[in-house]
Structure 1
């Protein structure tokens, strides 16, 4: 049976957000997952090759995946929101995902800029009494050169960091030190790749995502 793919627009804080919902190939859904793309001002879109591989790996593990374009990207309305706006965009799309699949546990994944977005949302959910929290967070290519501006000291949500061994935006020693200071549960997986965008190792990235713990 062919997998179900739905293209739609979600009402965001400043206009419609171009969104794509994809079910697993075998149609057996065990989790819902939000995936956020890299920086909108540097060519980031939901069709970025790393984002595509993350989504594909999640679908292989049984997730229904929602990808979307932040405000001002392709068919999404609005203009760049300097990070705060993009966090609100992701909240809006996550809300729709939760409405559609209310009985499923949910995860959040993001690449580069998108990994910051999901960590901000997770921190807020963890601090909100009664809020349903994600069962896991998957920050891919977290840009450590900007520092960790999110206090994750008391975050008990499992965080599975995935990183290229060569990354000018997150050198190997920096990401290892950052993750080392976080409390459990956590993990850091390095993939032998040529750059921040996992050049030469995209299939390996997909495999790692598909086999992360639940």
Structure 2
């Protein structure tokens, strides 16, 4: 996996105050108008989730390696972000702020919304409605504790990557749900992987890379 990017630490203007973020953009020597720009949302902040989570970081690296600009940010109350945790309600406004920021940075470029665990539950809900979001990625979706029924009416193409031993989303339930949701949906099950894809991050990378190469023919 190779990448050549510029990294920028910044603060977004969020509805509950500033949101700590990191934006990766392709370096000038390799710059071209991207096919897509991505936002990646992190897992539950009350259980230690931040934008530095290893699954979030791996997803960002995989997207970056394909030449996509990638924005990660901390939800309200996480890291240096202002505000307090709002049980996934106010966090939807944080996602909206992140998407709006990226949309302004890359006018006319479609956006991809990716999220891990809690970040998938919150992020995909917003991504389904945002006018600039064209594709969605859900990693380790916690279907045992969270309601993903909003995806029944979400027609945007979606990739789901799930561990066969995920503790927070029974894989058989995920296999039943994904085909019932609207749009073109692809599910990759990583055999033996737990919720955090421990020891299987290379398989996570492969799933994201292969899907995007198929959908966008990205060959960076």
Unpaired segments ≥5 residues, structure 1: 126-131
2:51 corresponds to which residue?
Answer: 46
The offset of 1:185, in angstroms, is 0.7
Q: Does 1:33 align with 2:31?
A: no
When normalised by structure 1's length, the TM-score is 0.91
Residue equivalent to 1:3:
5
User: Which structure 2 residues correspond to residues 174-213 of structure 1 after superposition, within 5 A?
Assistant: 174-212=173-211, 213=215
The answer to whether structure 1 residue 151 and structure 2 residue 150 are counterparts is yes
2:85 to 62, 68, 80: 80
1:148-201 Cα distance to aligned partner (Å, 9 max, x none): 344222321001111111101011101101112113311101112431000111
Q: Which residue of 1 aligns with 2:20?
A: 18
SS of equivalent to 1:67 = strand
Q: Deviation digits for residues 61-86 of structure 1, max 9, x if unmatched?
A: 22100000001111111110110111
TM norm structure 2: 0.89
3-state DSSP of counterpart to 1:135: strand
User: What CA distance in whole angstroms lies between the structure 2 residues aligned with 1:138 and 1:51?
Assistant: 12
Q: 1:103 aligns with which of 102, 108, 121?
A: 108
Distance in 2, matches of 1:183 and 1:123, equals 11
- Identify if the C-alpha distance between structure 1 residues 14 and 183 changes in structure 2 by more than 3 Å, giving closer, same or farther: closer
Aligned length in residues: 208
Moved more, 8-17 or 176-185: 176-185
Q: Counterpart of 1:141?
A: 140
Query: How large is the RMSD of aligned CA atoms in angstroms?
Result: 1.7
1:90 deviation in Å? 1.0
Q: Following the alignment from structure 1 to structure 2, what is the Cα–Cα distance between the partners of residues 105 and 124? A: 13
Distance 1:45 1:111 in 2: 11
Q: Judging changes above 3 Å, is the alpha-carbon distance between structure 1 residues 166 and 27 closer, same or farther for their aligned structure 2 residues?
A: farther
Q: 1:96 to 1:206 in 2, by over 3 A?
A: same
**2:71 matched residue in structure 1:** 66
| Whole-Å separation in 2 of the counterparts to 1:2 and 1:149 | 36
- How far 1:30 sits from its partner (Å)? 2.6
